[in-house]
């Protein structure tokens, strides 16, 4: 029963920390030089090692993922810290895309969003000199305009989901040919960012994705491993494949901006109706379609756009847009923690992976319970699910069953499940279930014990850690100022 006492379990957890074990094993006279390297070679901008690169390049030095589809009970291919770090960067890119769509003035033009962030009103005020009430002009913030701009994101998603449907079917045909010819199944090319975002969100609803693949006879796409080696810009081969084999534009955002430059084009006129839906006439849309002469890509885009404008979009596609919207809250949480810019991100991810393996153990031990992950465990769980078949085979080997991830559960039910998961985790492993942050934050909490423990002189290490923390903090403040983020 002593394991259930929070103070006892906290000490057990601290005693199990790998970093503390390393500290206590140091027997050299100069532990800082011999045993502790805060940064690896190539992780700094200068030879003196005083300006770390953020994030450290060494974090991404191993981008290999398991490729075996034969999993024994002794081999569980869990996500690697590198994959989780790439996942964090990808979430930041998704956040940046949403920010760009909502705040783009060029896209306002394309979508016909008119107005400004302020408006003029007349307010009745008391004039002291005249000794009476008068009406005067006042400039106030117009929240309606910003709300309208935010609706652009929903419109963008409804366009992007049609592209995802085209892309995933084209990819499945290619990988099916690969399998028939005995080749290794892999993506023919990297997907456009909006398509990748939809695929990512769909993979985080495994049962729904499995049903979708079954219903549409997509037999091989679930075997494709997630492209952890993605790049911010599509390689030329991916651009060409997307254009000619999928018949969709590689960069949806840029395509929409370019359309807005020629307002007289049929596509531009149709897109601009988003900003003025009251004047939309269904008959005029069909008239526009009949009169235009477009290439195959533009013609397909136009037909999808008309379906969206007239509310004829397939309900299943709209459900996919909801997947992306639900994931936005997780993206925001990850951004608020900004682990990818932490000087201790590697340790944070290693501990999270260990906690995730224990979380899966609870599924095996308590099959009737609804288990709710902490934020760090959820990140690893999401990363694991990004390769559908590998995830399924791994969890079956580790738990004896398939574990679905349902992000549609209500807050009340989640709260009850989280409390029960915490109790089970504490009882089984003698550890607190609360989210672990970073090694440096734990060093700050337990610093007095660490810096004086076992007779080790840690003053040099503490000073060096302090310098690195100050540097990281300064760089983050610079980044926020550059992006005009509220500090």
Q: Positive or negative CA dihedral for 168, 401, 83, 425?
A: positive
Kindly state the average pLDDT of the residues 178-188. 89
Both 432 and 459 in a single domain?
Answer: no
Lowest mean pLDDT among 104-118, 247-261, 442-456: 442-456
450 within some domain = yes
11 and 92 in a single domain? The answer is no
> Is the omega angle on the peptide bond into residue 300 within 30 degrees of 0, that is, cis?
no
CA–CA gap between residue 192 and residue 200 (Å, rounded): 12
pLDDT for position 33: 39
Q: Please say if the pLDDT value at position 458 is more than 70.
A: no
Q: Which residues contact 194 (CB under 8 A, 6 or more apart)?
A: 97, 156, 160, 163, 164, 252, 253
Angle between helix 143-180 and 296-309 (nearest 10) = 130
**SS3 call for 397:** helix
User: Does 478 fall in a domain?
Assistant: yes
Read off the pLDDT band of 286 (50, 70, 90): low
Least confident of 214-223, 453-462, 463-472: 453-462
Same domain, 356 and 432: yes
One domain, residues 221 and 326 = yes
pLDDT at 208: 92
How many Cβ atoms sit within 10 Å of the Cβ of residue 196?
19
Residue 431 and residue 341 in one domain? yes
70, part of any domain: no
Q: What percent of the chain has a predicted confidence (pLDDT) above 70?
A: 70
Residues 411 and 452 in one domain: no
Please indicate, yes or no, whether residues 422 and 456 belong to a single structural domain of this protein.
no
Q: Which of 72-86, 342-356, 466-480 has the lowest mean pLDDT?
A: 466-480
Q: Are both 159 and 246 inside the same structural domain?
A: yes
Q: Residue 35 above 50 pLDDT?
A: no
154 and 200 housed in the same domain? yes
Residue 172 lies in a domain: yes
**Beta-bridge mates of residue 136:** 123
Instruction: Tell me the C-alpha distance between 61 and 449, whole Å.
Output: 34
Residue 280 within a domain: no
For residue range 364-393, list pLDDT tens digits in order.
999 988 999 999 999 999 999 999 999 999
Lowest mean pLDDT across 49-63, 325-339, 455-469: 455-469
**Residue 109: what are its φ and ψ, rounded to 5°?**
-65, -45
Q: Is residue 421 part of a domain?
A: yes
Arithmetic mean of pLDDT, 154-167: 93
Nearest to 88 by CA among 324, 334, 327: 334
DSSP, collapsed to helix, strand or coil, labels residue 281 as coil
CB-based contact 122:135 (threshold 8 Å): yes
Query: Over the chain, what is the mean pLDDT?
Result: 77
Percent of the chain with pLDDT over 90: 37
Q: Is the separation of the CB atoms in 250 and 238 below 8 Å?
A: yes
Give residue-wise pLDDT tens across range 81-109.
999 999 999 999 999 999 999 988 899 88
Across the range 53-81, mean pLDDT stands at: 67
Phi and psi for 44 in degrees, rounded to 5? Answer: -125, 160
pLDDT of residue 201: 95
Instruction: Evaluate if residue 188 carries a pLDDT over 50.
Output: yes
Q: Look at residue 431 and tell me whether its pLDDT is greater than 80.
A: yes
Q: Is the pLDDT of residue 50 over 80?
A: no
At 238-284, the pLDDT tens digits run: 999 999 998 899 999 999 999 888 877 778 888 877 655 444 444 45
Q: How far apart are CA 91 and CA 386, in angstroms?
A: 13
**Between residues 481 and 182, which one has the greater pLDDT?**
182
Are residue 384 and residue 469 in the same domain, yes or no?
Answer: no
Looking at the structure, do residues 366 and 471 belong to the same domain, yes or no?
no
Residue 122, in any domain of the structure:
no
Higher pLDDT, 170 or 136: 170
Same domain for 347 and 391: yes
Domain assignment present for residue 362? The answer is: yes
Distance from C-alpha of 378 to C-alpha of 436, rounded to nearest angstrom: 12
What is the arithmetic mean of pLDDT over 26-46?
50
Write a three-state SS string for 160-194.
Answer: HHHHHHHHHHHHHHHHHHHHHCCCCCCCCCCCCHH
Q: Can you give the pLDDT at residue 90?
A: 95
- Structural domain range at position 326: 78-117+144-261+311-436
- Could you tell me the maximum CA-CA distance found in the chain, to the nearest angstrom? 91
How many domains does the chain contain in total?
2
In which band, very low, low, confident or very high, does the pLDDT at 65 lie, cut at 50, 70 and 90? very low
Residue 117: per-residue pLDDT: 65
- Burial class of residue 215 in the structure, from the number of CB atoms within 10 Å of its CB (0-12 exposed, 13-18 middle, 19+ buried): exposed
Q: Which residues pair with 132 in a beta bridge?
A: 127
Higher pLDDT, 480 or 218: 218
Cα end-to-end span (Å), the chain: 45
Higher per-residue pLDDT: 10 or 326: 326
């Amino acid at each position: 029963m002593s394991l259930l006492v929070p103070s006892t379990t906290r000490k057990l957890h601290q005693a199990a920390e790998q970093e503390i074990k390393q500290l206590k094993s140091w027997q050299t006279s100069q532990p800082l030089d011999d045993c502790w390297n805060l940064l690896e070679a190539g992780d700094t901008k200068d030879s003196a090692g005083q300006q770390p690169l953020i994030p450290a390049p060494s974090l991404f030095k191993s981008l290999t993922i398991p490729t075996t589809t034969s999993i024994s009970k002794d081999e569980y291919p869990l996500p690697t810290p590198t994959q989780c770090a790439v996942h964090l960067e990808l979430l930041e890119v998704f956040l940046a895309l949403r920010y760009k769509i909502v705040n783009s003035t060029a896209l306002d033009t394309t979508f016909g969003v008119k107005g400004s962030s302020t408006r003029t009103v007349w307010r009745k005020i008391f004039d002291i000199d005249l000794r009476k009430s008068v009406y005067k002009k006042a400039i106030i913030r117009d929240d309606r305009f910003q709300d309208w701009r935010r609706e652009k994101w929903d419109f963008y998603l409804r366009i992007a989901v049609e592209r995802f449907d085209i892309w995933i079917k084209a990819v499945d045909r290619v990988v099916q040919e690969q399998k028939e010819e005995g080749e290794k199944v892999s993506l023919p090319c990297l997907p456009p960012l909006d398509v990748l975002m939809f695929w990512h969100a769909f993979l985080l609803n495994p049962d729904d994705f499995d049903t979708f693949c079954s219903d549409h006879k997509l037999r091989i796409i679930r075997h494709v491993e997630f492209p952890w080696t993605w790049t911010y810009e599509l390689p030329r081969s991916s651009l060409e494949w997307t254009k000619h084999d999928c018949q969709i534009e590689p960069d949806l955002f840029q395509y929409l901006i370019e359309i807005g430059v020629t307002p007289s084009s049929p596509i531009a006129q149709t897109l601009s109706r988003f900003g003025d839906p009251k004047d939309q006439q269904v008959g005029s849309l069909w008239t526009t379609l009949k009169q235009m002469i477009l290439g195959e890509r533009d013609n397909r885009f136009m037909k999808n756009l008309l379906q969206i404008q007239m509310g004829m979009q397939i309900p299943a596609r709209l459900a996919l847009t909801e997947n992306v919207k639900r994931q936005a809250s997780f993206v925001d949480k990850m951004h608020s923690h900004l682990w990818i810019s932490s000087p201790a991100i590697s340790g944070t991810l290693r501990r999270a992976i260990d906690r995730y393996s224990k979380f899966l153990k609870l599924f095996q031990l308590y099959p009737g319970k609804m288990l709710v992950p902490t934020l760090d465990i959820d990140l690893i769980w999401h990363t694991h699910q990004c390769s559908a078949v590998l995830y399924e085979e791994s969890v079956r080997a580790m738990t004896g069953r398939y574990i679905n991830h349902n992000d549609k559960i209500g807050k009340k039910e989640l709260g009850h499940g989280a409390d029960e998961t915490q109790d089970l985790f504490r009882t089984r492993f003698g550890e607190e279930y609360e989210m672990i942050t970073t090694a440096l934050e734990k060093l700050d909490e337990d610093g007095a014990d660490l810096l004086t423990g076992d007779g080790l002189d840690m003053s040099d290490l503490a000073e060096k850690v302090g310098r690195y923390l100050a540097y990281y903090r300064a760089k983050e403040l610079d980044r926020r100022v550059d992006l005009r983020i509220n500090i």
